[in-house]
Amino acid sequence: MQVTEKYIDSLLNQGENSGVEFKSADVRVESLAKEIVAFANTSGGTVLLGVDDDSTISGLLPDKNYEEWVMNIARNNIIPAIQLDYSEHEKNRKTIAIINVPKGKDKPYQANDNKFYLRVGSTNRVATINELLRLFQESGAFHYDITSVDGSSPKALNFFKLSGYFGAYKIDFDNLPDTEKITLLQNADILNEESSCTVAGMLIFGINPQQYIPFARISFAHYKSPEISSDLLNKKNIGGGLSEQIDNTVALIANSIPEPSEIVGTKRKSSVAKYPVKVFRELIVNACCHRNYSILGSAIRVFLFSDRLEVISPGKLPNTVSIEKLKAGVSYAANPVIVKFMENLNYIDKLGRGLPMVWQEAVKLNKKVIFEEIGQEFKVTLQL
């Protein structure tokens, strides 16, 4: 990125915040490493070196190679090492350094004190256990959908569903001895070694998943206007297994969108081109399969307005996936066991064609579709 005078002024004028930090030239190694780690573990940011906390430009010391010093910190004081963008500039007849820290691709990062820091507002703090868990999920080093559901047992599973699922693979599940059933369910990652249900097993085959994972549901709201208002036409909390959640939500969306029509001859025909149902289905499937189920108390939210559909799912994109990569068909599996089951049930494929298809269908209708990360959520806005 080209650093201009205007860009430097904008950084100085906004002061320290979630994406900007000022450090004087005599900053300690440990302090700068902590700032870099916090930015890398969050959304990236910029450190202005040679600037005091009150935005006063104090400048760099003339007898020190700051670029080499900063790069050594990035290599030796941060685990894993991180690549930074460093440049020096003249401002008010003094030299300052601008260190751009990218959103890390190898999260979580830690400083030499073995702590994992996050950027919150203009300060840094140590990540909590749940926040650290999310960082490991984003890196792909840990998958929450394989963890066990507290208090669950095989009795929480719908054996009729299981029979149908395994029947497609020529396995007579109903007539297997109980011990073989348990072994099969463990090998399929539906149960763990202690015979508790996994998160994936519960969400796909559970009798009542919300009894154990109450936030694993979809909240649907249909408004008459373009904004959240009192003109609420319909509101539902949609539970059950993921297949039921998907089917019921897609049906709600399709049935709630008005279809302008006109009489042509003796028949009524649609007067406006509309999205095929597969577009709505893909958005809901994507939300259910890739949301972060470790974020407690947060459901998938679907808002239908007069001019757009919004689908908001808890959790950020994995480290290596960007919005542009999604449009190009780069697929990811935040919940690989759930994805495996949903693929076998013909809800998805692994080719990454879903979201690009949504993009292409919107283009055909001269409509917009927006993919964005907002805090700890992923949001898709589809213009109607």
Dihedral pair phi/psi, residue 217, rounded to 5°: -150, 180
Contact 44/103 with Cβ under 8 angstroms?
yes
Residue 151 burial (CB count, 10 A): 10
Q: Residue-wise pLDDT tens for the chain (384 aa)?
A: 678 888 899 899 889 998 999 999 999 999 999 999 999 988 899 999 999 999 999 999 999 999 999 999 999 999 999 999 999 999 999 999 999 999 888 888 999 898 999 998 889 999 887 778 777 766 666 688 988 999 999 999 999 999 999 999 899 999 999 999 999 999 999 999 999 999 999 999 999 999 999 999 999 999 999 988 888 999 999 999 999 999 999 999 999 987 755 566 666 565 567 899 999 999 999 999 989 898 888 899 999 999 999 999 998 776 556 677 666 666 667 788 999 899 999 998 655 577 888 988 999 999 999 998 887 789 999 999
Q: So what's the pLDDT on residue 271?
A: 52
Of 94, 1, 100, which is closest to residue 51 (Cα–Cα)?
A: 94
CA distance 342 to 336: 10
CA distance 42 to 61: 30
Q: To the nearest whole number, what is the mean pLDDT of the chain?
A: 88
pTM above 0.85, yes or no: no
| Structure confidence by residue, pLDDT tens digits, 292-322 | 898 888 899 999 999 999 999 998 776 556 6
What phi-psi label fits residue 230: left (phi over 0), alpha (psi between -120 and 50 degrees) or beta? Answer: alpha
Q: Is the C-alpha dihedral spanning 166, 171, 174, 177 positive or negative?
A: negative
CA distance 134 to 315: 8
Tally the C-alpha atoms within 13 A of residue 360's C-alpha that lie toward its C-beta: 10
Q: So what's the pLDDT on residue 319?
A: 58
Q: DSSP string of 302-354? A: EEE-SSEEEEEEESPPPTT--HHHHHTT----SSHHHHHHHHHTTS--SSS-H
The pairing of beta strand 232-238 with beta strand 94-101 = unpaired
